Structure 1
Amino acid sequence: MVGLTHPGGPRAPAIVHDEPMLRFMPVGDSMTIGSAGEHTWRYRLWRHLCGTYGGPFTFVGPRETLYDQRAGAPTSLAYAEPGFPRGHLAGWGEGWMHMAPLIGEAVRAHRADVLLVSLGLIDLGFYTNAEQTDENVRAFVARAREARPRIRMVLLPVIPNVRAASDAPFAEQVDRFNDLLAKTVADLDEARSPLLLASLPEEWDIHTDTYDGTHPNASGEHRIAGAFAGAMWEAWGVGRPYED
């Protein structure tokens, strides 16, 4: 088994996994799958870890494509920089309710050690209220652990988008869900399979970090990658603080 600790001593239980290579699985919606021609935050985080992690790692998942907005389907491999491990479990228009039934098999098949999850905007916008969405979070966690009992998860709160700026009831649901998510992470966290709540991306601005009020541009990709990287560094000593 391989363990990861902070160079100055462990800050939390070290990541222990059975494989010589640490396997991260990005899980998310349109902000994670990205569109044709983009780098994606997945690429930005991979580049960061390449220079800071200090051990073998990869990104895994049952999907590799980007979303082709002209075709209206996830059929593109036209990454701005294709030379990185592109595995993921992300889909345009998918949320916690869609991923909960899929996560067990994905984790099992790809032997994921750490899930990097950014979900919830789609659920709250179209399918479920905050409480129902939180129930799907709990189902997701349970199924991931059934497949791999020592899996770790980093969960990103919902980033308020342009709709939240003008739709007060929707903004209230986003805030309510983020509060519930924090409680769920605290409730379900355990030493064998830690849950980590990342902070919202620092200084996020829908006018400068997105191209349409929701989806990240290059600046937004860096900020989301930085949120995941910062959480793993501060809690588990993985990598280093993020720099663009």
Structure 2
Amino acid sequence: MLRFMPVGDSMTIGSAGEHTWRHRLWQLLRDTYDPAVTLVGPRETLYDKQTDAPTSLAYADPGFPRGHLAGWGEGWLHMAPLIGDAIRTCRPDVLLVSLGLIDLGFYTDAEQTAGNVRAFVGAARAADPCVRMVLLPVIPNVRAESDAPFAGQVALFNVLLAKAVADLDEPRSPILLASPPRSYDIHTDTYDGTHPNASGEHRIAAAFAGAMREAWGIGQAYAAGTV
């Protein structure tokens, strides 16, 4: 049984009333890979927009392993110092990481963000030298349509992320760079230009699933035509 830890920002933690892409991916892996597959992490909650805090357990379907390391407004900058303890405590085999939009939007430029990617990987491996990782490129959000410098930083970071994966990948602790979610459209796959709706959740889950199926033979990719 493999143990997966989703790591991410608001797109990963989700908010009250949602399924989240975490649920969609778990469901796919359970049905096509191992019924006992689980998600682990030091947190379980959703973000509650009414209280402006990660205090909700009101999942659309709460009957799944809800562990994660994700936070509304958190990025590589925030997760790099936390990942070591999370790995030592929760013992994941695979990290599923979707981070970077918050960093680039509010905290660090592309080069600094890429430096935090490398710090994250180093901290993860210090905790478990054999941990595997799947990293998702940043999906440009609605801000990138009207803010050219921000869009440029997103594009540059995704190039630097690919370089970091190529530099840091090693047989004992492999790192995959997932492809961007197929046919992802922020106008139809999000509810606000950033956060995924149901179709967006499926597309993000499919990006992780496809990478793991192609590289490691884990589970099945989404059926053709479903995303």
**What is the TM-score with the length of structure 1 in the denominator?**
0.91
Q: Which residue of 2 aligns with 1:177?
A: 157
Structure 2 CA distance, aligned partners of 1:152 and 1:231? Answer: 12
Distance in 1 (alpha carbons) for counterparts of 2:183 and 2:146: 19
Query: Is the counterpart of residue 28 in structure 1 residue 2 in structure 2?
Result: no
The alpha-carbon deviation at position 55 of structure 1 amounts to 5.9
Change beyond 3 A, Cα 1:214–1:78: same
**Residue 113 of structure 1 corresponds to which residue in structure 2?**
93
Correspondence for 1:17: none
Q: Distance in 1 between matches of 2:221 and 2:164?
A: 26
Which consecutive residues of structure 2, in runs of 5 or more, have no partner in the other structure?
none
- 1:129 maps to which residue? 109
1:32-88 CA deviation, whole Å, 9 max, x = no partner? 000000000000001101111136321000000000011100000000000000000
Give secondary structure in 1 for the equivalent of 2:55.
strand
Give the Cα separation in 2 of the matches to 1:147 and 1:242. Answer: 32
String of CA shifts for 1:116-172, please: whole Å, max 9, x gaps: 000000000000000000000000000000001100000000000000111000000
Aligned counterpart, 2:28: 48
Q: CA RMSD of the aligned region, Å?
A: 0.7
**Distance (Å, rounded) in 1 between the aligned partners of 2:27 and 2:198:** 14
Check if 1:223 corresponds to 2:203.
yes
Q: CA deviation at 1:22?
A: 1.1
Task: Kindly provide the CA deviation profile for residues 88-141 of structure 1, in whole angstroms up to 9, marking residues without a partner as x.
Answer: 000000000000000000001001110000000000000000000000000000
Where structure 1 has 5 or more consecutive residues not aligned to the other structure, the ranges are 1-20
Give the Cα–Cα distance (whole angstroms) in 1 for the partners of residues 71 and 34 of structure 2: 30
> Secondary structure of the residue that 1:135 maps to in structure 2?
helix
Task: Determine the structure 1 residue equivalent to 2:133.
Answer: 153
State the partner residue of 1:74: 54
Identity of aligned residues (%): 78
Supply the AA of the counterpart residue of 1:185: V
Using the alignment, how far apart are the partners of 2:36 and 2:130 within structure 1? 19
- Length-normalised TM-score, structure 2: 0.97
Give the aligned residue type for 1:125. G
SS in 2 for 1:138: helix
> 2-side partners of 1:22 and 1:101: how far apart?
24
Partner of 1:232: 212
SS in 1 for 2:163: helix
SS in 2 for 1:85: coil
Distance 1:57 1:179 in 2: 32
